[in-house]
Amino acid sequence: MIPIETAASENRTIVQWDKNDLDNLNFTRVDILGLGILTALKKCMEYVKVIYKKELSLDTIPAEDPKVYDSICAKDTLGLFQVESRAQMNMLPRLKPRSFFDLVVQIAIVRPGPIQGEMVHPYLKRRQGLEKVEYPHPELETILKKTYGVPLFQEQIMKMAMTVAGFTGGEADELRRAMGTWRRDGKHRLSQMGEKFRQGLIKKGISAEFADRIFSQIEGFAEYGFPESHAASFALLTYASAYLKYYYPDAYVTALLNSQPMGFYQSHTLLYDAARHGAALLPIDINFSDWDNQLIAPKTIRLGFREISGLNKSVSHAVIQLRKERVFFSFDDFVSRLKLHFVDKSISKRELFFLAAANAFQSIHLSRREAFWKIQQLQLSDTLSLTFSEESGILPQESEKEKVFLDFESFGVSLGSHPMKTFKKEKNQFGFLTTQQLSHCSHHQRVKHAGMVVSRQMPPTANGVLFMTLEDEYGLSNLIFWNATAQKYKEMIWSHNFLLVEGTIQKDKKSKVIHLIVDSVTSL
């Protein structure tokens, strides 16, 4: 029916027409959502079966486990589907989900534009008993009762239109479509439906003022509306990922790493979180690693070749294949066997340097620097020869900071110290607080803090406000830069990965959610 083309990614094709063009031509369109979390969950359950001898599926994971909800409310959601972002983590202690439907609401309510829709605060206040639950019309109580009189889902809006405004089923669906095209077509189509909606309410005896207020809620809702059925499907995956992370954090992080790219965080953040949950991380090694990361025993993860930046997959497969015959007992043994394997093709020193950079020769008692030295002596830049020109002698050992940063450069994480632990001198000099210490600070307290940048976000709806997440050995911290500060320190914020900041603590009394309002920035 329409032209397609091969995409840049392997085994993918692109439909050349825009999805809205298909709608305009009245083509039937079925959207199939491919979620990386499904791959991760499947792999995780396979690891649980092998290592823990426990068979699990989405059908058999125990429902409504209080301990799982405890972990969610405590914001232990890094790596979880849908509830791992900064905004979601900050909402969790306020909404305090204790049931599956609470998770459905959690997912639906944290969307772009909820503040404009004026849905979040009324819902939270009514849920906490701080505000009286009111319904614009008695007939709306059955529709809005489970969300405390606040419309949160698309289905609720459609039922409101049919029950109170006199819409037919077809007209309610047209309203749904108008909300879905709010951003693309502007207000015109929704306003047309809105006038009909207003008049329908007025006919029911609702005042024009009240009708305007309800429709203004719908306009706000259209900015971020979520079908309840969609949110429920997502909530099932959120709960499953939370259950697996709580009971099998080692299997869960291994599955996440082997399902990349996906999610909100880079590998190092996921691995440091796993370490805080008791997992032991073993290094990449030519004699032990596979392509994927492996859960080799409870709480023990061996990193795989896939983590090495730049390494050709064919080289890692050759290493694994050769190792099945017998282990490598020396560098000469490794190089000569690899050379024979690639007899019809040349293997470059570059591939060996990738392995050396990852410190993958430790089992044959070769340090990173010694491996670099030996590889450099191999004759020719594009093919291998076993002629060595001179012995390395005694090479100086890497400092703690060198080791950390060389590890990060090669495979994105350091299995020694967390990078922030290498800034002892700076910590003594500037007296900055750790993430752990920030949790004990009081509202409006002025502090210094430092960390490794995990994410920077400047949402279109935030009017130039920048949200940043820093990480240290104890966890994550949330920073807010008002527009003027973000502009003043723009170069520093966007081009440096380790920052020292100063600002004022903002702490919510009830939820204990902490933000640091930053007013000055320095690079560590």
Q: What is the largest CA-CA distance in the chain?
A: 95
Q: What percent of the chain has pLDDT over 70?
A: 91
Given a cut of 80, is residue 148 above it in pLDDT? yes
Q: How far is CA 508 from CA 93, 107, 519, in A?
A: 10, 21, 20
The three-state secondary structure class of 97 is: coil
Nearest to 470 by CA among 445, 498, 494, 442: 498
DSSP state of 397: P
Q: Which residues partner with 433 through β-bridges?
A: 449
pLDDT tens digits, one per residue of 198-225: 888 888 787 787 777 777 767 766 666 6
Q: What is the dihedral of CA 48, 50, 52, 57, to 10 degrees?
A: 40
Tokens of 8: 């840049």
pLDDT, average across residues 397-422: 85
Tokens of 273: 């979180």
pLDDT tens digits, one per residue of 286-323: 999 999 999 999 999 999 999 998 898 989 999 999 99
pLDDT tens digits, one per residue of 479-490: 999 999 999 999
pTM reported for the whole predicted model: 0.86
Q: How confident is the model at residue 519 (pLDDT cuts 50, 70, 90)?
A: very high
Q: How confident is the model at residue 273 (pLDDT cuts 50, 70, 90)?
A: very high
pLDDT, average across residues 509-513: 80
Residue found by looking up tokens 């990349």 in the block: 260
Position 344 scores a pLDDT of 59
Strand pairing class (475-481; 514-523)? parallel
Given a cut of 50, is residue 394 above it in pLDDT? yes
Given a cut of 50, is residue 382 above it in pLDDT? no
Decide if 502 contacts 447 (C-beta within 8 A): yes
Position 23 scores a pLDDT of 76
The three-state secondary structure class of 262 is: coil
Dihedral over Cα of 442, 443, 449, 453: its sign: positive
Given a cut of 50, is residue 113 above it in pLDDT? no
Q: Contacts by 34-40 with C-beta closer than 8 Å and gap 24+? A: 35/81, 35/237, 36/259, 36/261, 36/262, 36/263, 37/81, 37/237, 37/241, 37/259, 37/262, 37/263, 38/237, 39/259, 39/262, 40/241, 40/252, 40/255, 40/256, 40/258, 40/259, 40/262
Q: Which residue has the higher pLDDT, 136 or 352?
A: 352
Position 466 scores a pLDDT of 93
Position 317 scores a pLDDT of 94
pLDDT, average across residues 360-371: 94
Distance between CA atoms of residues 464 and 458, nearest Å: 6
The three-state secondary structure class of 355 is: helix
In order of their start, the domains of the chain are 62-229 (no CATH), 279-411 (no CATH), 424-523 (2.40.50.140)
Nearest to 265 by CA among 72, 469, 496, 523: 469
